[in-house]
Amino acid sequence: MLKFTKFRHGEEGPGLVLRIRRELAARLKAEGFASVAEAVGV
């Protein structure tokens, strides 16, 4: 929720979405998933 609040109020700027996408991709790869769809429900 904090990330959404910061994004909504412009505290982290437009780079926040890109950073979230990069971090999510890295986490998925580290856990052995090829996509978000694979990870859903795990």
This prediction has a pTM of 0.63
Structure confidence at residue 2 (pLDDT)? 56
Residue 20 CA to residue 38 CA, distance in Å, equals: 18
Residue 12 CA to residue 19 CA, distance in Å, equals: 10
Q: What is the pLDDT of residues 1-42, one digit of tens each?
A: 556 666 666 666 777 788 889 999 999 999 999 999 999 986
